[in-house]
Amino acid sequence: MGIIKATVGAAGGVLGDQWLEMYECDSIPQGTLIQRGHPRVNPARSSNTHATDGLISDGSIILVNEGQCAFVVESGKVVACFDRPGENVFHSNRSPSIFSGRGLKGLGESVIERIGFGGDVCVRQIVLYLNTKELLNIPFHVTCPIQVSDQNTGFSMDAQAIISGLFSMRIANPKIFFERVCRGVNQTASLSQISPQLQAEFAQAAAEGIAILTAGGVSPSELPGRTTDLCDAIQSAMTQKWIDLRGFAVSSVAIGSIRVSEGDRQIVRDLGRDKMLRDPVMAAATLVGAQAAATETAARNTAGAPVTSFGFAAPSPAPAQGSKLWCCSCGKWCSTPFCDQCGAKRPE
């Protein structure tokens, strides 16, 4: 009875799989790398209601849209790749069809093969669609050490550069990408699953680019003006590396901000000020400015004793004769019984 049941099941399955199918995939969302395709079925009109799930009939159509690349995976192995937009015909000896133009050839072998597996198929085929459009708005944030030096004074210090921005990438070699990154996927794969690795490698390339710029004599204040050079260096380095390693390339790099930590910036400012004061003329000008500021401060002093331009307290002026003022031991002239400044009592 088992042989008869397997024979009937195998024959019925082969006949049910004779209809050709058209596989398609809707627009792949941004951030999705791979999405599984499905056969187009119209329940109201289609007679293809007994097809075996996971089996593609010989001569079926694989529909590929712009920005997509279709892979036919058979039992874990890529057997066909379609990167040309439009209708692509898939041929397979595992599921022959009388509508593929080959007639009855291979139908008997297919039935016998299924009988050996109890009336069921021994192969699994799926269609996976790869997103070849540009993947946008991938963020990165880098904190890397840089060397700050002054060739005139010989001063050198390590500072922290903070870089943040966005980059985009595209899949340039779908076959390498699928085999090395997405092998084993049978439904969907998103960019978020590999973004930590990508961001870490991108941050390393950005740190190397910053090190090259600063080693060439670029000061931290000049880094924002060299973002174009930095972007070109990162894009060139990462594109070649990622194409060879994973099949995708960096399309563009946009640096939102590049700066040095506040503590390091203060050290650099102090260094610049000290360098300026090494010039006798600039030092003298700075001293004159400081004395002018002290004189202005003294002119606004209404509470205490006047301060001279040399930083010494000037004695209070003596009152006119005939007045009832008295001079306290602190130097303050008062008209009340007690000193307004130190509180001492007026002598008798």
DSSP 48-59: --SPPTT---TT
Counts for the chain of helices (H) and strands (E), in that order? 7, 14
- If DSSP codes are grouped into helix, strand and coil, which group holds residue 144? strand
Dihedral through CA 163, CA 254, CA 180, CA 29, nearest 10?
120
- Model pLDDT, residue 46: 64
Rounded Cα–Cα distance for residues 291 and 287 (Å): 6
Average pLDDT over residues 133-147: 82
Rounded Cα–Cα distance for residues 216 and 207 (Å): 14
**Six-digit token pair at 18?**
């004779």
Give pLDDT tens digits for 180-231.
887 777 778 888 888 888 888 888 888 777 777 777 766 666 777 777 877 8
Give pLDDT tens digits for 156-194.
667 777 888 888 888 888 888 888 887 777 778 888 888
Task: Using the structure block, give the residue that is written with the tokens 């590999």.
Answer: 194
313: which DSSP letter?
B
Q: Which residues contact 239 (CB under 8 A, 6 or more apart)?
A: 249, 250
- Model pLDDT, residue 194: 83
Residue pair 55/21 in contact (Cβ under 8 Å)? The answer is no
Average pLDDT over residues 133-145: 84
* Domains in the chain with CATH codes: 2-131 (no CATH), 135-260 (3.30.479.30)
In this predicted structure, the answer to whether residue 313 has a pLDDT above a threshold of 60 is: no
- Model pLDDT, residue 1: 60
pLDDT bucket at 303, cuts 50 / 70 / 90 = low
- Model pLDDT, residue 70: 92
Give pLDDT tens digits for 73-118.
888 888 899 989 999 998 887 777 777 666 667 667 776 766 666 7
The alpha-carbon radius of gyration of the chain (Å, integer) is 41
- Model pLDDT, residue 129: 92
**Cα distance from N-terminal residue to C-terminal residue, the chain:** 137
pLDDT bucket at 268, cuts 50 / 70 / 90 = low
Average pLDDT over residues 327-347: 79
- Model pLDDT, residue 323: 52
Residue pair 134/170 in contact (Cβ under 8 Å)? The answer is yes
Taken as a whole, the chain contains a residue count of 348
In this predicted structure, the answer to whether residue 320 has a pLDDT above a threshold of 70 is: no
- Model pLDDT, residue 88: 92
Q: Which residues contact 91 (CB under 8 A, 6 or more apart)?
A: 58, 59, 100
Give pLDDT tens digits for 25-75.
888 888 888 898 988 876 666 666 666 777 888 888 999 999 899 999 888
Rounded Cα–Cα distance for residues 146 and 124 (Å): 54
% of the chain at pLDDT higher than 90: 5
Average pLDDT over residues 317-333: 67
